């Protein structure tokens, strides 16, 4: 049985504030092949398997849009820190458009 004083901490993400997926430990950056095989796009995926299309296929998002991905609730959400500060820094460093990278 959980300590009643620590229980509110477990449910902070259910307080009505939007959850920013980019601030979750399950949000992972992956390379998706493009072009001639020596190039790739950067994409993000949910390592906990929470991003699914209607037919069950995994959904990935473009890296430059990850700061906009939100959910109302998520039972797997594990924040990496203060969302406001994290997102501010992330938005400064994200590319402004989808780019092709080379190996």
pLDDT digits (tens, 9 = 90+) for 5-52: 343 444 444 456 789 999 999 999 999 999 888 999 999 999 999 999
Within-domain flag for 2? no
Place of tokens 């699914």: 52
Token pair belonging to 86: 């994290």
Domain that holds residue 69: 7-102
Residue 93 has pLDDT above 80, yes or no: yes
Residue 59 within any structural domain of the chain: yes
pLDDT of residue 3: 40
For every residue of the chain, which 3-state class applies, written as one string?
CCCCCCHHHHCHHHCCCCEEHHHECCEEEEEEEECCCCEEEEEEEECCCCCECCCCCECCEEHHHHHHCEECCCCCCCECCCHHHHHHHHHHHCCCCCCCEEC
Q: Is the pLDDT of residue 4 over 80?
A: no
Residue 31 lies in a domain: yes
For the chain, the domain total comes to: 1
Report pLDDT for 23.
Answer: 96
The pLDDT of residue 44: 97
């Amino acid at each position: 049985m959980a300590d009643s004083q620590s229980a509110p901490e477990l449910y902070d993400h259910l307080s009505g504030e939007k959850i920013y997926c980019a601030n979750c430990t399950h949000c992972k950056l992956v390379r998706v092949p493009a072009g001639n095989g020596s190039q790739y796009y950067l994409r993000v995926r949910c390592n906990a398997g929470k991003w699914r299309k209607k037919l069950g296929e995994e959904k990935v998002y473009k890296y430059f849009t990850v700061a906009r991905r939100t959910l109302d609730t998520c039972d797997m959400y594990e924040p990496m820190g203060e969302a406001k500060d994290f997102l501010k820094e992330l938005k400064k460093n994200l590319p402004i458009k989808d780019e092709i990278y080379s190996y």
